[in-house]
Structure 1
Amino acid sequence: MGIRPLNHLMYVWPYFSNTKLFIMRVFELNGTPRTELGKKACKTMRKENLIPCVIYGGKENINFTVTQSAIRKLIYTPEIFEVKLTIGKQTMKAILKEVQYHSVSDNILHVDFIEVDDKKPILFRVPIKTEGLAVGVRAGGKISLEMRKLKIKALCKDIPSSLTINVENLEIGKSIKAGDLSFPNIQIMDNKESLVVCVKSTRAAKDAAATTEAAAK
């Protein structure tokens, strides 16, 4: 049980800034089938440090439980994992879909998984990361990540744990939109005009520009 590392495959795709993606690692998780449903049954499970879960997408929905300790590393991380889920005698490939938390305590109440088919693409939101010091930042601007995740469509084997965008060539006032990005075997589903990252002007940048302009006269 836990994380089984895969080779971190990196792709560099041509754009005025480089983009990279890292393939998901595999998280192994064991669950126990459950037949008792409803709020009262779920409340009892939580008192025993068990988390009620369900997996959709297969021939039938399967209700099961996992321990708090077993699932924490899957939930409390910005990464996306391919989940090798074993419930009783069944083993299947899944992806974490949704986590429900208590409104006050933030304790985990319920977890939803989706069973994936290697031959069918799925829709998923993948975290975005930036790397590099933008030209515009060196000139006094401020980098602004306008989108935290990109909505993509891909086969499970091609879904990355994160998408990294190199912003070194980004100048003040310039931006990267969803339509500017491209990754192998991945279709970006967000609006092409959606702003992903930009460099905004600051007071310091404006003062520096004014000083440069005055010196040139």
Structure 2
Amino acid sequence: MKTVELKGKLRETVGKSNSKLLRRADQIPCVLYGNGENVHFHTHENSFKEIVYTPNAYLVKIDVEGKTYDAVLRDIQYHPVTDKIIHVDFFQVHEKEPVWMRVPVVMTGNAIGVLNGGRLVQKMRKVRVKGLPSVLPDELTIDISKLAIGKSIKIADLNIEGLEFLEPANAVVVLVKTARAVVLAEDEEGEEGEEGEEGAEAPAEGGEAPKEEAAE
């Protein structure tokens, strides 16, 4: 798995007042846990552009005043109004200890069901997996070329050596739906339109025809 680096400084004090002061200076309060004693530090908000605002998953190498830690992003708190990051939690990882992460799903190939008129629906954009840091993938690649109409790929269908999937086995990752429902809906709309045109002639004999509600 790819690694990004992040530098921070130890917090002299913790608490709401100190956190507010840090945020006014564009610094984000952070905590690293998972190895007994928690490490409280802060870093500039721009440090999270590559980590947070991306569909990718990364291991994070954190440098806090010369001491380095390998970690994964665990939780992000956002301001309810501005949507700015106000706090970040990291979990320290170790080479020989398994850890879980959310890994993005990437599909390859052209589903045969889509070529036959179906519609591809991706139910899961990320999947929770657990494994040693050395075997965690950057992304989960799924070949959908043989996926026919009415068929799906579930968590139970995925098998990657060294990885444990933490989602329910029957959870659907991607499927191809029939387009028949879409065609029927279009036909019904067409019939309603024809009825409306015929009804438009009625007011000539007296009485205004009721106005149809706008389609949503």
User: Shorter-normalised TM-score: what interval?
Assistant: 0.7 to 0.9
Alignment RMSD? 1.6
Structure 1 segments unaligned to the other structure (5+ residues): 1-23, 208-217
1:121 aligned residue (98, 106, 109): 98
1:105 aligns with 2:105: no
2:131 aligned residue (125, 134, 154): 154
Provide the TM-score with structure 1 as the length reference.
0.80
1:39 aligns with 2:39: no
Give the conservation status (yes or no) of the 8 Å contact 2:57–2:102: no
Give the conservation status (yes or no) of the 8 Å contact 1:54–1:63: yes
2:54 aligned residue (58, 73, 77): 77
Give the conservation status (yes or no) of the 8 Å contact 1:141–1:205: no
Give the conservation status (yes or no) of the 8 Å contact 1:128–1:150: yes
One-letter identity of the residue aligned with 2:53: Y
Matches within 5 A, 1:18-57: 24-57=1-34
Provide the TM-score with structure 2 as the length reference.
0.81
One-letter identity of the residue aligned with 2:159: S
Matches within 5 A, 1:1-217: 24-203=1-180
Secondary structure at the aligned position of 1:156 is classed as coil
Structure 2 segments unaligned to the other structure (5+ residues): 185-216
Percent of aligned positions that are identical: 39
**How far apart are 1:189 and its partner, in Å?**
2.1
Distance 1:184 1:159 in 2: 10
Q: Larger relative contact order (C-alpha < 8 A, sep ≥ 6)?
A: 1
**How far apart are 1:89 and its partner, in Å?**
2.6
**How far apart are 1:38 and its partner, in Å?**
1.4
Task: Count the aligned residue pairs.
Answer: 184
Distance 1:173 1:115 in 2: 42
Give the conservation status (yes or no) of the 8 Å contact 1:31–1:66: yes
Q: Which runs of 4+ in 1 moved over 4 A?
A: 204-207
